[in-house]
Amino acid sequence: MNLNDVLRRVRFIFDFNDNRMIEVFASADTTVTREQVCAWLKAEDAEGYLAIEDREMALFLNGLINELRGRRDGPQPEPELTLSNNMVLIKLRIALNMQSDDVQALLEETGLKFSKHEISALFRKPGHKHYRNCEDQLLRNFLKGLAQRQLASKPKQTEPASTDPASPNPWER
């Protein structure tokens, strides 16, 4: 899956603004500029689009883990030079403190049925005999499920009831 698309979706899920994105990178001991962040978030056909490198995305996900779970003692993990869909899924699962059952339930909410064994195969090392490659569609559905949960957990904004009977309610039109 396109890492820029993953970055845009994660930004949407957590409702991060540019400053917050920069802070997440800073949590992984790296400095990025607002211009870089904006270029990474642009559509592929937009002027000024810049593809995010695997290492930079790994740094962002490491920073997200530090922000959501807390920074661990000692030296920070080195960012991966090559990032697969499996690694993105693993890092998001760690950041959100999800267990395999949570991932399975989230995917079922999006219409994908996976057994516990199939889910655990996604989190194995690539050389393991039961390793399963995380396809783009699976990662897309995982991110979609996260977005749906995030939207469902946000309190709905409602217009306060008007006390003046002469002023019409704009929501009733």
Q: Alpha-carbon distance 119 to 33, whole Å?
A: 37
Indicate if the pLDDT at residue 165 is higher than 80: no
In this predicted model, what pLDDT tens digit does every residue of 93-129 receive, in sequence order?
999 999 999 999 999 999 999 999 999 999 999 999 9
Hey, how many other C-beta atoms are within 10 angstroms of the C-beta on 79?
Answer: 20
pTM (predicted TM-score): 0.84
Q: Alpha-carbon distance 134 to 64, whole Å?
A: 21
Residue 15 belongs to what H/E stretch? Answer: none
pLDDT at 156: 61
- pLDDT classification of 170: cutoffs 50, 70, 90: very low
In this predicted model, what pLDDT tens digit does every residue of 33-69 receive, in sequence order?
999 999 999 999 999 999 999 999 999 999 999 999 9
Give the residue from 123, 103, 104, 100 showing the smallest Cα distance to 113: 104
Domain layout of the chain by residue ranges = 3-69+78-150
